[in-house]
Amino acid sequence: SIPLSFFGGIGGAARNGILVKGSTYLETMSKLGTIAFDKTGTLTRGVFKVTELLPADGVSQDELLRYAAAAEAQSNHPIAKSVMTAFGGGTPERAEVREIAGMGVEARTKEGVVRAGNVKLMKSIGIEGLREYAKSAVYVALDGKFLGTLLVADELKPGVRAAMDDLRAAGVSRLVMLTGDNLAIAKETAAEAGMDAVSAELLPQDKTAELERLMAGEEKKTAFVGDGINDAPVLTRADIGIAMGGIGSDAAIEAADVVIMTDEIDKIAAAIRIAVKTRWIVW
Ligand code: ADP
Ligand code: MG
C-alpha cells in the first residue's frame, strides 16, 4: 500500500504546477545526483530570431530567405518559426517536406530539393568546409548547391543561473547540458547557465547514449529534462524524465514522469524539496 503522505506530496507538487505521474517518481526525485538538460526550449527560451542573412555569391538575401522559408514552412522546430517570422506574411511555395532528426529539413519544391539545417545536414549531401559560427546557423542548399546561411539567436530563460544554484543547494551535484546544437554555442550557453559539463552536436540517439554514460558513473539517480519530440527516448531512459508542459511536444509530455506545467526551471528544485519533505513525513 502507498503511504497517504505520498498522495499529499503529489498533491503539493500539483498545486505548485508540477505534475508527478506516480509516487515512485516522487521518491526517486528525492535521490537525484545528476540532472541532464536539453538546451533549446528547456534552458533557453526556444524563441529564435534571425539576426543575419549571409547569401553565397550570386544569391540575394531575398532568395536565400525564400528558399529557407519553403523548407521550414511546415516544421515545428523553434528555429523554423524564426525563419518564417523573418520571411513575413507571404505564402511560401508548396512543398513535400521531410524532417531529419537533429539535422534539419528537406523539401521537394517545383524548383528542386531545398535543404535547411546544420553542418551535419550539409555534410550528408557532400557540402564541406562551411564556415562555423558561435551562433546557431541554418545552412541552405538547393539541389546540393550551397545558397547561404541564416544566423539565428536564442537566449537563456530568465532565472536559469539561479535555478541551477538552487538545484545544487537541493543536493544535486552534477548539472549537464546535452544538445544537438554546435559546440561553440553550447559551451557559451552552458557557461552562462553554470553547468558542470556539456555535450554538443548530438543526434537524438546520441543523447540517450550520453545519458547512459552519465547514469553509469552516478551512484544516485539521474534525471533528464527536455521538451522536444526528439527527447522522448531519452526522457524514457532516465530514472526520471522531466518535460516542459507549456512549450513541450505531446511526445515529450507523454514520455515524461514529471511535467513542469509552467515551463519554469526553478520548479525542479521545488519538486525535489517537496519529494524530500514527503519522505521525512513517511519516515
Ligand atoms: P536541441 O534542442 O538540443 O537544439 P534538436 O534535436 O532539436 O536539439 O536540434 C538539433 C539541431 O538540428 C539544431 O540545433 C539545428 O541545428 C538542427 N535542426 C533541427 N531541426 C531544424 C530545422 N527545422 N531547421 C533548421 N535546423 C534544424
Ligand atoms: Mg529541443
195 and 262 fall within a common domain: yes
For residue 38, the CA-to-ligand 2 centroid distance in Å is 6
CA distances from 49 to 42, 99, 139, 147 (A): 17, 21, 15, 20
The per-residue pLDDT of the chain, averaged, comes to 91
173 and 277 fall within a common domain: yes
Residue where a domain terminates, one of 125, 153, 181 = 153
38 is catalytic: yes
Phi then psi for residue 37, to 5 deg, are: -120, 140
Q: Averaged over 2-10, what is the pLDDT? A: 58
* Helices then strands, each counted (H, E), the chain: 11, 13
User: 51-65, pLDDT tens digit by residue?
Assistant: 999 999 999 999 999
273 and 145 fall within a common domain: no
Could you tell me if the CB of 39 is within 6 A of ligand 1?
A: yes
Share of the chain above pLDDT 70, in %: 95
Question: Ligand 1 pocket: which of 118, 135, 178, 203 to mutate (most atoms <8 Å of CB)?
Answer: 118
pLDDT at 135: 84
Could you tell me if the CB of 105 is within 6 A of ligand 1?
A: yes
Atom of ligand 1 nearest to the CA of 230: 6
230 and 182 fall within a common domain: yes
For residue 248, the CA-to-ligand 1 centroid distance in Å is 15
- Indicate which residue's Cα is closest to atom 22 of ligand 1: 104
174 and 216 fall within a common domain: yes
pLDDT at 41: 86
CATH of the domain at 131: 3.40.1110.10
CATH of the domain at 183: 3.40.50.1000
Q: Please, is 215 exposed, middle or buried when counting C-beta atoms within 10 Å of its C-beta (0-12, 13-18, 19+)?
A: middle
Distance CA 153, CA 282 (A): 47
Q: How confident is the model at residue 95 (pLDDT cuts 50, 70, 90)?
A: confident
The residues facing 54 across adjacent strands are 149
Residue 125 in this model has a pLDDT that exceeds 90: yes
171 and 145 fall within a common domain: no
pLDDT at 92: 72
Distance CA 134, CA 274 (A): 39
108 and 124 fall within a common domain: yes
Residue where a domain terminates, one of 96, 123, 153 = 153
171 and 39 fall within a common domain: yes
The number of folded domains in the chain is 2
Share of the chain above pLDDT 90, in %: 74
The residue assigned the cell 541554418 is: 138
Its pTM stands at 0.80
212 and 225 fall within a common domain: yes
Q: Are 245 and 3 in contact (CB under 8 A)?
A: no
C-alpha cell at 113: 530539393
Residue where a domain terminates, one of 97, 129, 153 = 153
For residue 47, the CA-to-ligand 1 centroid distance in Å is 13
Distance CA 90, CA 10 (A): 47
Distance CA 27, CA 267 (A): 16
ipTM surpasses 0.95: no
Distance CA 185, CA 11 (A): 39
Other CB atoms within 10 A of residue 279 CB: 18
Which positions ≥6 away from 127 have C-beta within 8 Å? 139, 141, 144, 146
Could you tell me if the CB of 179 is within 6 A of ligand 1?
A: yes
172 and 276 fall within a common domain: yes
Residue 7 in this model has a pLDDT that exceeds 70: no
142 and 202 fall within a common domain: no
Q: Averaged over 70-99, what is the pLDDT? A: 88
Q: Averaged over 101-128, what is the pLDDT? A: 95
Lowest mean pLDDT: which of 36-40, 88-92, 172-176?
A: 88-92
Identify residue 195 by its one-letter amino acid code: M
pLDDT at 246: 84
- Indicate which residue's Cα is closest to atom 9 of ligand 1: 102
164 and 271 fall within a common domain: yes
User: 62-80, pLDDT tens digit by residue?
Assistant: 999 999 999 999 998 889 9
Could you tell me if the CB of 103 is within 6 A of ligand 1?
A: yes
For residue 172, the CA-to-ligand 2 centroid distance in Å is 22
Q: Which domain covers residue 101, as residue numbers?
A: 49-153
User: 133-191, pLDDT tens digit by residue?
Assistant: 888 899 999 999 999 999 999 989 999 999 999 999 999 999 999 998 889 899 999 99
Residue 21 in this model has a pLDDT that exceeds 70: yes
Could you tell me if the CB of 210 is within 6 A of ligand 1?
A: no
- Indicate which residue's Cα is closest to atom 19 of ligand 1: 104
C-alpha cell at 283: 519516515
